[in-house]
Structure 1
Amino acid sequence: MKKTMFILICLIFNFSFSQNLPEGFVYLSEVIPDIESELRYLENHNFTGRPVPGYESNKIILSTPAAKALEKVQQELENDGYCLKIFDAYRPQRAVDSFIAWSKKAEDTLTKSEFYPNKRKMNLFSLGYIATKSGHSRGSTVDLTIIDANTLEEIDMGGKFDFFGERSHHNFEDLNKNQRQNREYLKSIMSKYGFRHYSEEWWHYTLRNEPFPETYFNFTIK
């Protein structure tokens, strides 16, 4: 009896918790309970060097169709002994606006050596590494990689997440065979389940038939 009541309370809590999201969105953990994540914009380890406005909780939000498509990706990866690790998913417009403000502070180069050593900060938008209107804010774009299901270690993609440079491009040639195969493995399985890749960033994918192609949301992640 106590166990039944506990399950019922959990279901009620999760239901009410989900109702805080706009219709058509879901917490990814409700679809993929064992999803691994490292939400970079929630903490200091990102190209701005500080937590990003709009990120108030360690939760991944996506449109429902994107989350369900990722579930299929996860299932196939698990058959091969791997799984997904998420760096970013839905991103509030206020976060994007903070990136714009950051780009205008020429003196703030705290993270240059790690994230954009060979690029001028003011050029990151024109080069396509940051957008004034991000697909992430439409809720069906996700930044991710593949990890070993047992060790949870990232497989070698030949470059780090959010590195602003040619090494992040899908067609970057100076990779070893294993790195090229890993990138192609991720791209092929994401494509299989309805995602298109972004040529400038090996980790960036958008659901082809996204449900909100013209809407940029601004609700807080909490």
Structure 2
Amino acid sequence: MASKPYQRIPIQDCGEPLVAIPLEQFAVVEPHPYAVLGAPYGERSPYYVRQGVLAALLQAQANLQQQYPGWRIQIFDAYRPIAVQQFMVDYTYGQLLQLWQHEHSGETDRQPPQEELLNQVYQFWAAPSHDLATPPPHSTGAAIDITLVDHQNQVVDMGSAIDEISPRSYPNYFSEQTSSEQTTADQSGADQPGAKTFHHHRTILSQAMDSAGFRQHPNEWWHFSLGDQLWAWLGLTQAAASQNAAVAHYGRAQ
């Protein structure tokens, strides 16, 4: 498996502690989806982030509510120990393998394409590296998976589920679907706002998080980082890249 480009960013950990997210101030997915599967969190709750990340998350929600009163950020996942990252990589691979076996159930002589399936996994899941120079983003306490709920406490439809392994997970996927969808609507005379609505909802989320300094994962509409290697890499300008000037503020949380 090839390393990811953001893993080349050096880390100078600022030493901020992990702190509990005050869940009463947000919406939250309960019970925790990975804990239900048996992910080994140990004594620490998954609803932890670095102190500075929490301050920014609170600011993002405040900014959101200025435009959309009553709306809240819904916390899906935050801190992950390396053991949990390994568990979820293995679980996701197992799910894809089961799907492949179902689709090829009549082909008894065909072996599962392990490398291809793993590549699909690692397109969306960071490798559970124990190397302090290449921590998974969630293991730093600087990455968070979220969505939104509206003023009626209804989950806002983003057009695909969190953790879905498909092109629909790309943040701008529905932006690219709107023109073809509009053509279909014009031809049928029907109003089909699906892709446009989903893209609008994703834009609300990304703008709220961007306003507080977060940066969005290029493959995952739900994943935002602040201060980790991915965040630093996403913020690289051409000049900074040529001078190797980017630095991550958060390494693997201890």
TM-score of the alignment, normalized to the shorter chain, above 0.5: yes
1:131 matched to 2:133: no
1:62 matched to 2:53: no
- Give the superposition deviation at 1:199: 1.0
1:94 to 83, 92, 117: 83
Write 1 or 2 for the structure with the bigger share of strand: 1
In our comparison, the structure showing a higher alpha carbon Rg is: 2
- Give the superposition deviation at 1:190: 0.7
- Give the superposition deviation at 1:26: 0.7
1:160 matched to 2:156: no
Structure 2, unpaired ranges of 5+:
1-14, 103-115, 128-134, 179-194, 232-246
Between the two proteins, what is the percent identity of the paired residues?
A: 25
Provide the residue aligned with 1:35 in structure 2: 26
SS at 1:202 equivalent = coil
- Give the superposition deviation at 1:189: 1.4
CA distance in structure 1 between the aligned counterparts of 2:211 and 2:96, rounded to whole angstroms: 44
Provide the residue aligned with 2:170 in structure 1: 169
For 2:26, give the aligned amino acid: I
- Give the superposition deviation at 1:109: 2.6
SS at 2:61 equivalent = helix
CA distance in structure 2 between the aligned counterparts of 1:76 and 1:166, rounded to whole angstroms: 29
Structure 1, unpaired ranges of 5+:
1-21, 44-49, 114-119
1:75 to 62, 73, 88: 62
Tell me: CA distance 1:55–1:156, structure 2 relative to 1, closer, same or farther (3 Å).
Answer: farther
Write 1 or 2 for the structure with the bigger share of helix: 2
User: How many pairs are equivalent?
Assistant: 181
CA distance in structure 2 between the aligned counterparts of 1:147 and 1:103, rounded to whole angstroms: 26
- For CA contacts below 8 A with separation 6 or more, give which structure has more relative contact order: 2
For 1:154, give the aligned amino acid: V
- Structure 2 contact 16–52 (Cα < 8 Å) conserved: no
- Structure 2 contact 61–208 (Cα < 8 Å) conserved: no
- Give the superposition deviation at 1:161: 0.6
Provide the residue aligned with 1:215 in structure 2: 251
CA distance in structure 2 between the aligned counterparts of 1:106 and 1:183, rounded to whole angstroms: 26
Provide the residue aligned with 1:47 in structure 2: none
Tell me: CA distance 1:55–1:203, structure 2 relative to 1, closer, same or farther (3 Å).
Answer: farther
How big is each residue's C-alpha offset from its partner over 1:117-170, in whole Å with a ceiling of 9 and x where there is no partner?
A: xxx6422344x2111142000101000001113x22111111111101100001
For 1:89, give the aligned amino acid: A
Higher mean Cα deviation, 96-105 or 176-185? 96-105
For 1:153, give the aligned amino acid: Q
How big is each residue's C-alpha offset from its partner over 1:15-48, in whole Å with a ceiling of 9 and x where there is no partner?
A: xxxxxxx95211011xx632221131121xxxxx
CA distance in structure 1 between the aligned counterparts of 2:96 and 2:214, rounded to whole angstroms: 37
- Normalised by the size of structure 1, how large is the TM-score? 0.70
Aligned-residue Cα RMSD (Å) equals 3.1
- Structure 1 contact 42–58 (Cα < 8 Å) conserved: no
